[in-house]
Structure formats: structure tokens, C-alpha cells
Amino acid sequence: MKLIKFLICCCLVLIFSTNTIHAQTNILNTNKVENIGKKTVSQIKVDSLDTPLPYGYTSNDDVLWSKVVWEIIDLNQKINHPYYYPTDLNSIGTDRLSLFNTLQTAVNSSKLEIYEDAYFKEKRNVKELKSIMKKICNNGLPSTIEPKDITQFMIKGMWYFDKRQGELKYRLLGIAPLYGFDAGTKCENEVARNQWENDNPQLSVEDYPRPKLEKMNILYWVFYPESRQILHDSKVFNPDNSVSPITFDHLLNSRRFSSVIVREENVYQNRSIDEYTKNSIFQLLEAEKIKESIRNKEIDMWNY
């Protein structure tokens, strides 16, 4: 019993000592601001060994059944806020990044390939991406898609039943940030807002009728296995213990988010739910129906 307690204590010490590195490094041991964030040689060595948990090999012969689904993660929901914040790096520094900032930083530094569609057949041109995200308005000022404008993500994943382990599993395949307005539309909205403020000086800025989003557009697709190390290096704030953060890779793989299914692979060219069901209530019911059919598939595997 003593040996077991000793081993548990050792594991906890290793976990906390490793995670401490990802807080504000050296903040407790320096008397100069410029030394905050600088890592020692041993800390850099530990970081190089810190990799995401590898996926186990799954043979095609072990997969009895599978279904690919597309889901929307709405960052306005409270449970999804860890993916949305922080949106302003000036007030919090660069130690913590939002999910979009993490992906976009890797794209800008050419560490991550981006694609046009969810099948990863055609790569997206970074120059084209920049033209979508930034444009010079008529007044000469630049308009840019900012992290706070990315309020939804679409993910593509596969549910499958592994007969070797006898359980239903999920594998994330792709992730895509969604935006409602491109930079050009933001320019037009800004002009309309300035005109409204001039015409209604007695009203508050909060009374401005915000334009409705007709459709969310995909900014780009990322093949998730390629981004795992990048998402593992980026830490999410842990409200229970700030010295022990969580990684984006862990959050996404463990499905710690709220989402709605918007598409499943089907014979009709993988059409989305809104293509054959226009009513929003019926769309949610159809999403729940697909989710329930996936759950029932695992139960049916054990029926003889």
C-alpha cells in the first residue's frame, strides 16, 4: 500500500512539474521583466519531449461499421468559451491563445497546410486567404477579420465500431473556422453604421440594428492529424488550477464541447441537413435523429 501511494505521489509531482513550465515561465525567479517567459535548457528539453498521445493503429478489418459526420461548434455557448477566448492579446499576452489564433498563427508561419474543402483534395492559397481577411475600405482604413469575428467552427469526424476492443470510437479528421462577413462586407457595414449614427444622434450605439448573418462561410479546412502537435503546444486556461492547463488537442479529442450535427455521409452526394429540411426546428430534430442512430449502433452490435 505504501508503495502504491509513493508511486501515485511521484506521478503527480511529474505531472505538475511538467505543466508548470507552461505557466508564465520564470516569473517567480526573476527581478527583471525581460526574463519572464525565457526557458532554461532543461525546460526546452522537456518541451521537445511533450507530444500528443499518439493514436493507436486501427486495421480496416477491425472496423465493423463507420459513419462520417459534420458538426458545428457554436462558440457563443458557455461550454465552448475555452475555444473562443482570449480574443484580445494586448490585455493578456501571448501565453494563451484562442483556437482560431492558434491555427491562424501556424498558417501565417507556414507550419500548417490549409485546404479548400473537407476532403483535403485542393490546397488553399494563402494570398487568397489574406484578401478575404483584410481589405482597404473606401475611407483608406484597413478592415480585417479578427479572432472575435470567428464565432463558429465546423468539424468533420468519423464514428466507428472497433471489433477488436468492442467499443464505439470517434476520430476527428478535420476542423474549419467559419466567418459571417469578409473584410469587404465589414467595410460596407462600417459605412452603414456611421451613417446610422449621424442620422440618429439621440440613440445609443447599442441600439444599432446589427446586420443578420445569412450564411456562415468556411475560411479554410485543416487536416486535424497534421495540427495535433500545434494544438497540443497551445494551452487552454484551467479555472480550477491555472498552473495545470489543458491542451486544445485533449479538449477536442475528448469531445469536451457542445455541437450540432449538420451533415452525414449519404447517397445524395453527402448533402447537408438544411438542403432537405428548411425548418430550423426540424433540422435540430434531424440532427438528434442522426446522433441517436449512432448511439444505437453500438448497442445493436451487442445484440445476438
Domain tally for the chain? Answer: 2
Q: What is the pLDDT of residues 258-303, one digit of tens each?
A: 999 999 999 999 999 999 999 999 999 999 999 999 999 888 887 7
Please check whether residues 72 and 119 belong to one and the same domain: yes
Please check whether residues 171 and 282 belong to one and the same domain: yes
The answer to whether position 199 is within a domain reads: no
Please check whether residues 87 and 221 belong to one and the same domain: yes
The answer to whether position 195 is within a domain reads: no
* Structural domain span for residue 138: 65-181+214-301
Please check whether residues 41 and 71 belong to one and the same domain: no
Give the model's pLDDT for residue 43.
Answer: 65
pTM of the model: 0.80
Please check whether residues 172 and 246 belong to one and the same domain: yes
Please check whether residues 94 and 15 belong to one and the same domain: no
The answer to whether position 201 is within a domain reads: no
Please check whether residues 175 and 119 belong to one and the same domain: yes
Please check whether residues 286 and 238 belong to one and the same domain: yes
pLDDT (average), residues 90-112:
86
Please check whether residues 154 and 275 belong to one and the same domain: yes
Q: What is the pLDDT of residues 176-211, one digit of tens each?
A: 999 887 777 777 777 777 776 787 887 775 666 666
Please check whether residues 237 and 273 belong to one and the same domain: yes
The answer to whether position 8 is within a domain reads: yes
- Provide DSSP, 222-265: EEHHHHHHHHHHSEEP-TT-TTS-EEHHHHHHTT-S--EEEEE-
